[in-house]
Amino acid sequence: MAALTIVTSIFWSVLDEKDFFFKLWILIALISTLYSYYWDISQDWNLCNIESLQNIFKKNNQNGQQIIKITQNHIYDRKLYYFAMIINLMLRFSWILTIVYQKSLTQQNLDQKNWEVFKFFIYLFEVIRRFIWNFFRFEKEHIQQNIIPFQENQQNKEYNDIEQDQISNQYIDIELQFKEELIIKALLMSGGQF
């Protein structure tokens, strides 16, 4: 997608059919941005899986609202993840402001200094977006490297403890059965007299 965005951008700047390639570039850039946003949330941050994204369009039985369910195994409050998802979407689409501003810059002959200040803020928004992205990406890696293996080890330990208890109980049952048999044999051998 990024390559298509670059190619249409080059065609837009070089060829005479600027209006067609500009619209094509906008369309491809929108699709690319939406796909990148989806990838951030589902793969990089591991907040939503395919199943929960499909449930966006289904009604919740309790209150009739459409919801995105955050997957399990996260450190912070769910509200923070929803907030980050919204901020990430807004900041991912901040590039649209450059198009709007460029159009108004050429139509109204706005000051070039204003353009530089505007670009500074757009770049700052991207730095903020990437900081947020890194924050949740590191959280995902921390969970996958430390917490999930620990939980799996705990489950294995609990399983092994249960298995060990079952073996111990079987051993105790066998031992009691053996002692009962010895007592019965002793009684039979002694003729039932003690």
pLDDT, residue 66, reads 45
Please state the rounded mean pLDDT for residues 168-176.
66
Instruction: Give me the mean pLDDT over the 87-116 stretch.
Output: 76
Same domain for 73 and 19? no
Same-domain pairing of 31 and 50: no
Tokens of 55: 């449930």
Q: Which of 13-17, 25-29, 68-72 has the highest mean pLDDT?
A: 25-29
Q: What is the pLDDT of residues 106-157, one digit of tens each?
A: 656 667 777 788 889 999 999 999 999 999 998 888 887 876 665 555 555 6
Residues 35 and 70 in one domain: no
Element of type H or E holding 191: none
19's tokens = 């209006």
Q: How many domains does the chain have?
A: 2
* Cα separations in angstroms, 51 against 33, 70, 125: 21, 11, 31
Whether the predicted pLDDT of 54 surpasses 60: no
pTM score, two decimals? 0.60
Q: 173 and 108, same structural domain?
A: yes
* Parent domain of 135: 45-190
